[in-house]
Structure 1
Amino acid sequence: MAWANQFVLAKLGELTDLDWKLRLTEEDWSIQELANHIVLAAGGYASRVSGLTVSTGLNQSMTIALDKLQEYCATADEILRVESHKLDQINTYVRDGKSIERSRSTIISQSIHHATEHRAQISDTLKVHGIRILDLDEIDIWAYSDIAGEINSPE
């Protein structure tokens, strides 16, 4: 996931300031909001499984600089990677004032699914506006395996 997230964020570095404001429809999130959401959510998932805080005082509607998005995302994704190698357990966290229990494996699986879903939204939004810089086939699991190998050690 870290590899795919960094790949997409690097591609977004090719965009103009106006491109960051593009939306699929008027009701949908902008490229900036989608990128923020991927990164801030990754931090939230990382916190749920580790108790560590990745970023504070940020929200999805802000303009967060690309280098900061890359930094926060790398930190969150590394926490998630390390946590994925630990034995499964139940994690308890508070969301919207409600205590929630989820297994570590469910939280980590959701973090991967969530990022994948929103990377696809970014790709679709760019394509609708004629910007073809992001080919999701370049970041599928097969491409990652070809680059990183089949073994991903916790070290």
Structure 2
Amino acid sequence: MTNTIPDPTLDRLLRHMAWANAQLVDRLLEQPIETLALTAPRNEWSAGRILAHILNAAQGYTTRLEGVPRPPNVEPPASTEELADLGARLADYDARLRRQATEPDVLVSHPDPARGSDLRSTVLAQMIHHATEHRAQIAAALATNGNDAIDLDALDLWEYAEAEGQGQ
């Protein structure tokens, strides 16, 4: 039987992840599209490629948990329209991931049998951390090139609590 009430901490972290991802995309939409080509020193991945990777990972984690085929990977956005579409798709996958928190915490097989199985909660926690790490990489790529559009402190849980109306 499915527990429709998720763990409150996990649910809050998943809501925060979705909010922070949306905030990141919104801030990037305010920048010239060329901003997505910026990289950090010693990192060949551009901000746009990292953002596409966040979506590709969300697709992979979600479809793994849902037991459905994974769609093809997306390419980095090359226009404002593609960036907005990526943001909408990411929001959809983030919502689907959140729904997975109400499912039983059972072992879920990896599509590659050599990689074994993980608990549903492990996959969800990994997605949360994965998105956080890559939002930081995007902020670093911009900041090392003199663009401070992504303020990570404005994307933290304290700011999310304020945005959600549950802060001080």
Question: TM tier, shorter chain?
Answer: 0.7 to 0.9
Partner of 1:24: 40
- Cα shift at 1:124: 0.7
Unpaired segments of 5 or more residues in structure 2? 1-16
Is 1:91 the counterpart of 2:91? The answer is no
CA RMSD of aligned residues (A): 2.1
Q: Counterparts of 1:99 and 1:110 in 2: how far apart (Å)? A: 15
1:73 matches 2:85: no
Structure possessing the higher relative contact order (Cα contacts under 8 Å, 6 or more residues apart): 2
Shift of 1:127: 0.6
Give the structure-2-normalised TM-score: 0.79
Partner of 1:56: 71
**AA of the residue aligned to 1:118:** H
State the shift of 1:17 in Å: 2.8
The structure with more helix, counted as a fraction of residues = 2
Alignment-derived partner of residue 109 in structure 1: 125
Quick check: 12-21 or 105-114, which moved more?
A: 12-21
Deviation at 1:145, TM superposition (A): 2.1
Report which stretch shifted further, 83-92 or 32-41.
83-92
Instruction: List alignment gaps of at least 5 residues for structure 1.
Output: 151-155
Distance 1:106 1:23 in 2: 30
1:3 aligns with 2:43: no
Per the normalisation by structure 1, the TM-score is 0.85
Partner secondary structure for residue 136 of structure 2? helix
Letter in structure 1 aligned against 2:60 = G
Q: Give the superposition deviation at 1:149.
A: 5.1
> What is the aligned partner in structure 2 of residue 41 from structure 1?
57
Q: Counterparts of 1:79 and 1:94 in 2: how far apart (Å)? A: 18
